[in-house]
């Protein structure tokens, strides 16, 4: 790992820029290049990149030097290193521009990057929570419908059971009534049978004859009884 010449901290290889003149290493954030811009830089742009100090030491056409750290924040576009490139060099040139920043400006840049990252994280979290809540609502709706169906079925079973109980009570009462009537009818039949047998006449010791014929003695007995 290399050390940043601006903030003097360790730099990861994926986050550093190397000056093509002084061969010094810098954090991409320290030279106002975002990680997204760093990924889009071509190898040619990285190889020709100048650090702020070397760029300021390079003579202008009017032989004046730009200070390393201006007292007032300057327009970022004023420190762009212009090179003659092909048609696709506009994006690379904009991404590879560098300018001097103070600690307050660097703090603002970092805060802005953090704000963007947090907004994206919150937005993704909200989207994920909305998807999970939507699925949870669907499950709750299905569970509610199932519970309602079971409740309706239970109420219907209660109604059917109540109807069956009423019918059974009615049948039991009818059975008791029929049993009482049967006892009364049986008693009356016994009385009628006893009454019908009260006038019966039993004849004994009558000589036997052929079927259908009474003896003279039996005929006299029956006639006398009448």
The Cα 115–Cα 35 span in angstroms is 15
The Cα 79–Cα 52 span in angstroms is 9
State the pLDDT at residue 217: 61
State the pLDDT at residue 179: 93
The Cα 69–Cα 43 span in angstroms is 28
Which pTM value belongs to this model? 0.32
Concatenated DSSP letters for 54-100? HHHHS--TTS----SS-SSPPPGGGG-------TTHHHHHHHT----
Q: For the chain, where are the E strands, in sequence order?
A: 2-3, 10-11, 16-18, 25-27
State the pLDDT at residue 178: 94
State the pLDDT at residue 78: 40
State the pLDDT at residue 117: 92
Radius of gyration of the chain (CA): 59
Nearest in space to 143 (alpha carbons), one of 135, 154, 127: 135
Instruction: Parse the chain into domains and list their residue ranges.
Output: 2-101, 102-167
State the pLDDT at residue 51: 87
State the pLDDT at residue 185: 94
Per-residue pLDDT of the chain (226 residues; tens, 9 = 90+): 678 888 888 888 778 888 888 888 888 888 888 888 888 888 888 888 888 888 887 665 444 444 444 434 444 444 444 444 444 444 444 444 445 567 778 888 888 889 999 999 999 999 999 999 999 998 999 899 999 999 999 999 999 999 999 999 999 999 999 999 999 999 999 988 888 877 766 666 666 655 555 556 666 666 665 5
State the pLDDT at residue 169: 93
With residues binned 3-state (H G I as helix, E B as strand, rest as coil), the percentages for the chain, rounded to 5, are: 60, 5, 35
How is residue 91 written in tokens?
């994006």
* CATH level 2 (architecture), domain 2-101: 2-Layer Sandwich (3.30)
């Amino acid at each position: 790992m290399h050390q940043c010449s601006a903030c003097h901290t360790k730099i990861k290889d994926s986050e550093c820029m190397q000056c093509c003149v002084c061969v010094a290493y810098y954090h991409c954030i320290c030279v106002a290049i975002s990680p997204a811009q760093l990924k889009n830089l071509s190898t040619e742009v990285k190889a020709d990149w100048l650090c702020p100090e070397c760029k300021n030491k390079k003579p202008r056409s009017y032989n004046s030097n730009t200070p390393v750290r201006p007292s007032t924040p300057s327009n970022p576009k004023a420190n762009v290193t212009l090179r003659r490139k092909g048609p696709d060099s506009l994006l690379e040139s904009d991404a590879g521009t560098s300018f001097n920043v103070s600690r307050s400006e660097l703090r603002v840049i970092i805060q802005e990057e953090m704000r963007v990252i947090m907004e994206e994280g919150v937005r993704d979290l909200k989207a994920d929570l909305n998807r999970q809540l939507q699925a949870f609502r669907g499950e709750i709706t299905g569970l509610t419908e199932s519970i309602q169906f079971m409740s309706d079925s239970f109420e219907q079973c209660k109604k059917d059971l109540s109807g069956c109980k009423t019918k059974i009570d009615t049948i039991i009462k009818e059975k008791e009534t029929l049993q009482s009537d049967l006892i009364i009818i049986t008693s009356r039949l016994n009385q009628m049978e006893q009454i019908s047998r009260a006038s019966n006449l039993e004849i004994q010791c009558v000589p036997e004859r052929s079927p259908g014929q009474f003896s003279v003695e039996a005929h006299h007995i029956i006639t006398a009884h009448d």
